Structure 1
């Protein structure tokens, strides 16, 4: 394998098709190794330290990154809420925090409340910085595991029609996934959202630039029979500055068992989680449901990224 060319991972646009293939092939190796007892990569990152720097709450992303590092033989230093339990509470800048942590760790995994923060941190960091979500900006590692789930489910990503449903304006996961889907031929995207949560124009312009057809639809029931993947998202109350706008958006799209049965038999349901009520728990037993498997795939993708970045 040739050297991995990226030093940092802060946005989905950094990945071309070749890099996506490399990450997913490496994730396949990690998945197979764990299924076989995890012997091959158990000491791969021995003596390496990951700093887990989360300024916003997280369950899946933080735990899967920390589990990934531990399963590769590395160690972690972590803070659960850096806004309150780090020097950020004293007013320390992200610039200073990044420079300081460079002396303690070999890689920084960072979640921050401001869009663009990971790229800013990367610009002053001598060690790799991985964006674990930056406000309403991007979540590139989530998009990678989403892509991996699509490939695992269908064998091929080209030609798929993906319906993105819910909070598309503030949804960093669907923004990042939209960028990655432009790397495959014949893909289509349908944006389904309340008017106050429509996908931003920068993503639509990017899709136009790469010739990826997209549509907007308010009626979820119209889209369900046509989509290969229905990607549900929660309405993110914490992103709304105007409470009335949140109330206009929440609860409009709920995927019930009856709606799930309206989908194609081979179609799948995804969700970055956590969910509120946008997918009924009764849907969990539907064979189309892939969101728990999707979350597990985060471990393999993040193991692959850590190994690739720290073995450049």
Structure 2
């Protein structure tokens, strides 16, 4: 006997598949359990995450341009260049915020669908309910742990793994560094910018703007690396999980509706003419242990 999910040979001593954990004799997808398509949504989420990752970089690397504009302002004595630098940095951040909001919505919906699909996978052992696929991103403090646990469950049950793929850990570690570090760096930059002279009068005051941008660059470079690692690894995860789930859903065989204890049939029973033909709304009754009545 082979596992209907991954094709591995059955073990005579273990009722579950050693590779994917599916109980032998079970179909790849349980009939009657709702499932949801994830390939298209996963592609949209991956594109949005990739766009947010790329759009973060211009704002993060703006101190390179800001320092040059501050030097030019000092040489020309032009305060408007400093104001222009602040406005340019603000405008560069707007597309990133829009992409981030779009990515957040799509990722939450994709996570919920992917988690719901695992309820239909025999042998899946999720530790958190589907509701946490949404609440885990929104509840304070829980969002430091819960999303990683949900995605880890989805990855194991979708990619036929007994252990969590290492890519989940890479993604979550990079995301925590980025999300927490971005708040710390942004707060520090705001505090240092508020201490700058609003209308510089001399080289020392102009020079403080140059030093501000130079000091801001180091932390933002680290955040850029973390953002790239988190974005790329999550896109890979979404694509792999979506493809694996869609492939498994496509291999599901339609079964007659009935009691979960009834054996599933790969194909519908042939039609029988006459008054003894079975109804299309119910499967033929399973054979009992004692054989046909009257035999």
Compute the TM-score of the two structures, normalised by the length of structure 1: 0.20
Q: Flag the structure with larger Rg.
A: 2
Higher helix share: 2
Larger RCO, structures 1/2 (Cα 8 Å, 6+ apart): 2
Higher strand share: 1
